[in-house]
Structure 1
Amino acid sequence: MDIEISREGMVGIVEINRPPSNFFDYELIKDIADTLDAFDGDSSVRAVVLGARGKAFCAGANFSNGPSKGPNIYDQALRIFSHRKPIVAAVQGPAIGGGLGLAMSADFRVTCPEGRFSANFARIGFHPGFGLTVTLPESVGAPNANLMFYTGRRFAGEEAVAMGLAQKLVAQDEVRQAAMALAAEIAECSPLGLAATRATMRRGLVERVRAAMEHERTEQMKLRDTEDFREGVRASAERRPAIFVGR
């Protein structure tokens, strides 16, 4: 199984299980969205923890066979943003590129010093995706979002909390437990009051993310056939600096 689904009390849990890097593809994002839809239909589930097995949360999209030209993965990603119950992401390691986008789809993020948050798209000759052009500046402000986009720099857990990328810092082996505790605290609230408040606080988010994803995908489609993107993916896989030529 590429995801593990479980429950503890009133908290539903979905965890990526593709170690070591937990790369995602269309099928994985669809599986997560399907699980969240099922949790939406279960009145006994009042909050959700989104996590991953192993040392990485999600190191981004799987480009091992080149960028996907199949079904639009953002159609499935948008379903995650449309989920009606609070989500706490347990980020115990790298959340890179689209993996950062997945983490930012949650309401809250719990992390650790080993957490790594990076919008590394420009470093591989690509354009940000997964709605990050909306969620990142809304969480950390435009200057910090631009710093992340323009440099591709990795921010550790302490920096992530200071910037507002994450809300709680604990030891790495306590991330899941701390995320569960926060989700359980949320689940103690009135489900009607909680749902109404969350709908108000996230009002218009899905529409903004939908528009952003349409633009993000258009830009990604332009860039995926460039020499720079091919070089960026190669360099990343070979763990070396990329040599970009601007075409």
Structure 2
Amino acid sequence: MPDTSDQAILTHRDGHVAVIELNRPPHHFFDLAMIAQIADELDRLQADKACRVVLLQAGGSAFCAGADFSKRSGAETPRSATSINPIYQEALRIFSFGKPIVAAIEGPAVGGGLGLALTADFRVACEEARFSANFNRLGFHPGFALSYTLPALVGKQKAAWMLYTGARVNGRQALDMGLVDFIVPQAEVRARAMALAREMAASSPRALQSTRQTLQADALSHIRNAISRESAEQAVHFASADIAEGVKAMAQRRLPVFAD
């Protein structure tokens, strides 16, 4: 697994733990290519018997700020309401991975970046981490399966609050909500995440994967249904004026003013 600076991700191995690192500093905005690279790497690791656990992290102090909407041209190819967002097609491949994933979160995980963080089985974070599902503030329906994964993790009421308001949740609040599993000082996040990954990697790989499959149960079918609906709603919202106002307001660091 070579480390080359022109890749959207960097990868290396630490014993039975494979490390995938997002490589678009400082914010690690993603696009279809990055999510596809993660999915491709996970496909390879699924077939690699020496890999038992994956650690997902990002270079620098940010985890992932989601998609880069500053590059929207306003002339994107319209997408049918019955088609799946291509990024979420790739996300489904990530959700389909059969081995445990630990996410090391040292900073913001926003929008689709939060969705990516929730593909992991466990999240290790710090008080400086920030979590936000800011889709509605940007003028469109949540995506990356967050309409299922977020309420499944923190409960419907807290998920609704985060989704409706785009509230920014710090690391301590995230721990209290159940959004993350461990809080450590920022400088120790990666080490603690690796320690957790190694703890799991010491278990029987066959038993580990089958236990995870039992615990996941029918989650993947719910995720597929969520992504299908999210894609349909977003196809409509992306054609509206709301997203232009939402993105402009974000860039100007002000509250958006949406039409009735």
TM-score by length of 1: 0.97
Aligned residues: 246
- The answer to which of 219-228 and 151-160 deviates more is 219-228
Q: Deviations over 1:46-100 (max 9, x none)?
A: 0000111112100011212228648711110000000010000111100001100
Instruction: Return the offset for 1:238.
Output: 2.1
The equivalent of 2:82 in structure 1 is: none
The equivalent of 2:4 in structure 1 is: none
The equivalent of 2:24 in structure 1 is: 18
Q: Per the alignment, in what secondary structure is the counterpart of residue 217 of structure 1?
A: helix
Instruction: After TM superposition, list the pairs within 5 Å mapping 1:91-240 onto structure 2.
Output: 91-240=105-254
CA separation in 2, counterparts of 1:60 and 1:77? Answer: 13
State percent identity of aligned pairs. 51
Cα RMSD (Å): 1.2
TM-score by length of 2: 0.92
Instruction: Return the offset for 1:25.
Output: 0.6
- The answer to which of 100-109 and 229-238 deviates more is 229-238
The equivalent of 1:88 in structure 2 is: 102
Amino acid aligned to 1:4:
L
Instruction: Return the offset for 1:186.
Output: 0.4
Unaligned runs of 5+ in 1: none
CA separation in 1, counterparts of 2:153 and 2:247? Answer: 28
Unaligned runs of 5+ in 2: 1-6, 80-84
Q: Deviations over 1:143-183 (max 9, x none)?
A: 01001011110000000011000000011111111111100
| 1:62 pairs with one of 44, 63, 68 | 68
